[in-house]
Chain A
């Protein structure tokens, strides 16, 4: 079956602009995670959804970052007033029921802020 998909695969924007990154999880997966991976680093947790609600958003770096999952499937990560330091690969992962901790990752969106 289809895995986790993310669009766009690459996004180049200018400092100060607004961007949206989309994640389509595996069908039926109730949990969805967003991570940010900077060059030479491991994935850094941003936010976790269980269904439609954000169960843990403690990793969001500041109020410029926001994520939604209105229908409990597709999620959008939104970044306002982008800064050069936001440049990274943004990863999405989904997980099945509450009895499994295995996450399935998407290919990522590479965001470059000029």
Chain B
């Protein structure tokens, strides 16, 4: 069965500190992995996806198939990074449904 876990409900770091949001998944096949972000009073939006291999707002995420992980990292956290972060998984065929993790609230302290 498809499943996404995010072990931390809340992660607090100080501004300028490195941050890592953990995501593990289970899927029988080749999944596509995503990170979505929801800032306060805004709608859910795509942050990045593993197939793009790009860095958005300083965040990167590497798909580790051996460890079935897709952790989100940023070397120097900013206060504006404070938000809810959701890891999500989809099958590699377009149109398959998405499975979201429970989310991690990142709080970046001044």
State in angstroms the CA–CA spacing of A31 and B9 once bound together.
Answer: 31
Please state if B97 and A98 are interface contacts (CB–CB under 8 Å).
Answer: no
Please state if B100 and A101 are interface contacts (CB–CB under 8 Å).
Answer: no
Please state if A31 and B95 are interface contacts (CB–CB under 8 Å).
Answer: yes
Cβ 8 A contact of B49, one of A48, A58, A102: A102
Question: B99 contacts which chain A residues (CB < 8 A)?
Answer: 45
Question: B95 contacts which chain A residues (CB < 8 A)?
Answer: 31, 48, 50, 55-56, 98
Q: Hey, which bits of chain A sit against chain B, CB under 8 A? A: 3-4, 31, 33, 35, 40-45, 48, 50, 55-56, 58-59, 91, 93, 98-108
Please state if B45 and A42 are interface contacts (CB–CB under 8 Å).
Answer: no
Cβ 8 A contact of B44, one of A43, A50, A55: A43
Chain A interface helix/strand/loop/mixed: loop
Nearest Cβ on chain B to A12's Cβ, whole angstroms: 20
Contact A41 B102, CB 8 Å, known A48-B97, A55-B95, A98-B94 = yes
Closest to B100 in A: A42
Please state if A103 and B97 are interface contacts (CB–CB under 8 Å).
Answer: no
Nearest Cβ on chain A to B97's Cβ, whole angstroms: 4
Given A41-B102, A101-B90, 9 new contacts (CB under 8 A): A33-B97, A40-B9, A44-B100, A45-B98, A55-B95, A103-B46, A103-B98, A105-B45, A106-B43
For the complex, is B70 an interface residue (Cβ under 8 Å from A)? Answer: no
Please state if B102 and A56 are interface contacts (CB–CB under 8 Å).
Answer: no
For the complex, is B64 an interface residue (Cβ under 8 Å from A)? Answer: no
Question: B49 contacts which chain A residues (CB < 8 A)?
Answer: 101-102
Nearest Cβ on chain A to B68's Cβ, whole angstroms: 18
